[in-house]
Amino acid sequence: MPEKKHLVIIGAGFAGLRLARDLNNDPNFNITLVDKNNYHQFQPLLYQVATANLDASNISFPLRTIFRKSSNTRIRIAEVKRISPSQKQIETSVGDIPYDFLVIATGAATNYFGNANLQHFAFPMKSTTEALQLRNQLIQNIEKASLSTNPMQIESLLNIVVVGGGPTGIELSGALAEMKRHSLPWDYPELNFAAMKIYLLEGSSKVLGNMSGKSSARSRSYLEKMGVSVHTNTLVKDYDGERVLLQDGTSIASALVIWTAGIQGNAPAGLDSKYFAPGNRIRVNQWNQVDGKIFALGDGAYMESVEFPKGYPQLASVAIDQARNLAGNFKRAASGNAMLPYKYRNKGTMATVGRNKAVVDLPGPAFNLHGYPAWFIWMSVHLFLLMGFRNRIIVFINWVYQYLTRNQSLTLLFPFLSRKEQEGGAGHR
């Protein structure tokens, strides 16, 4: 690469942001980072925003602040409409942007598996906005229940169904159970929260399917002791906003269904269909290369290996490591050196269930942690990965306060956030 190249990165999630930061002020590249939001959001803690433990600003960091002293990185807040490989440009809501190299790091979106009713009525949780809307709906339902005299309506308004037994579903269910037990009875003494039921529905035979059997069993035991009704081998067939219809013909009355059961790649239009794998993920080679000057990283990239014939797991650690490897390869190419393939190194997996309750699987010889040690590791890792010193301090103070008081301090109701109200009550989409 004899002259300075223009690198365009779509997406400021873990992968896109890591790549831009590793190439920040590099003399061989001009970088344009494109995202529909002007901030980076820390997705692993979205469930704490949804359950009133953290404010949205605590897990978000402005992109322009990150690159304030950058000489080669520019931010463009825009929706990417289409990629044009033949013209080497992307079409966005603010105009066309040409590139020498393009990196697609657009992450993943919620997958409803083609069910229009679920997409219309169920609440996803893949962004800060969705987490706030979910929190708002949760509080709004409880407010309505406090005014109702109809037992069936109260039951529906209080019941919560979480679909999907992965880390997000586990963590969200645990946080809701703690909210039900320690916070809501003080705020709403007129309601009987013993009648409130939290259901966790998982289609496979166990929760936390990507973790060890020991961690899966332990997390399920934690949840059930906290009052969560866990159902495995249970598939959701439909939802009309009032009742959840299951595949076996039974149903659950609930005015709030949270969908965490599946994700799919979030790639922009324009790429040939031959580049896509199941789940709408973009096929890449061992250098994260799609074709020619186009690369893909993170949850939306599909890289096979002998150990992972269905692609590497869609984890933040994989996205960050792929970005670091690609940044190194860009630097090597600029110096005339050969690129190095990406090799996945398992750093372990973890999930928290609640106060002093978590599970951790460590790599190497099989080793599992649970309880307080696992919970402490989970808290420390997430606090370390959070962007910005100020955010870390605020989150730490919030966690200490909640640990000492068992109280959610952010149960604020903002009606303008309700998508049901915005769309005339027909549904939140």
**pLDDT digits 0-9 by tens, 92-151:** 999 999 999 999 999 999 999 999 999 999 999 999 999 999 999 999 999 999 999 999
Shared domain for 165 and 101, answered yes or no, is: no
Shared domain for 214 and 269, answered yes or no, is: no
Among the three residues 278, 301, 334, which one is the final residue of a domain in this structure?
A: 334
In-domain check, residue 293: yes
In-domain check, residue 92: yes
Please report which residue ranges of 244-387 form alpha helices under DSSP H: 316-334, 372-385
pLDDT score of 426: 40
Distance CA 111, CA 124 (A): 9
Q: Is 340 helix (H, G, I), strand (E, B) or coil?
A: coil
In-domain check, residue 54: no
pLDDT score of 276: 95
Shared domain for 293 and 195, answered yes or no, is: no
Shared domain for 169 and 223, answered yes or no, is: yes
pLDDT score of 405: 85
Shared domain for 14 and 163, answered yes or no, is: no
pLDDT score of 307: 87
* pLDDT tens digits along 319-363: 999 999 999 999 999 999 999 999 998 888 999 999 999 999 988
* CATH classification of the domain holding 94: 3.50.50.60
Domain of 150 in residue numbering reads as: 116-261+355-422
Residues (pLDDT < 50) of the chain are 1, 421-429
pLDDT score of 306: 87
Q: What residues form DSSP beta bridges with 245?
A: 238, 251
Residue 245: partners with Cβ closer than 8 Å, 6 or more residues away: 236, 237, 238, 239, 251
pLDDT score of 2: 53
In-domain check, residue 321: yes
pLDDT score of 251: 96
Shared domain for 239 and 374, answered yes or no, is: yes
In-domain check, residue 343: no
Report the number of distinct structural domains present in the chain.
2
Shared domain for 159 and 13, answered yes or no, is: no
What are the CA-CA distances from residue 286 to residues 10, 167, 289, 343 (Å)? 20, 27, 7, 8
Distance CA 50, CA 91 (A): 33
pLDDT score of 409: 66
Shared domain for 127 and 183, answered yes or no, is: yes
Shared domain for 222 and 103, answered yes or no, is: no
Shared domain for 359 and 233, answered yes or no, is: yes
Distance CA 202, CA 158 (A): 21
Distance CA 283, CA 289 (A): 8
Total residues found in the chain within this entry: 429
pLDDT score of 407: 78
Shared domain for 104 and 177, answered yes or no, is: no
Shared domain for 150 and 166, answered yes or no, is: yes
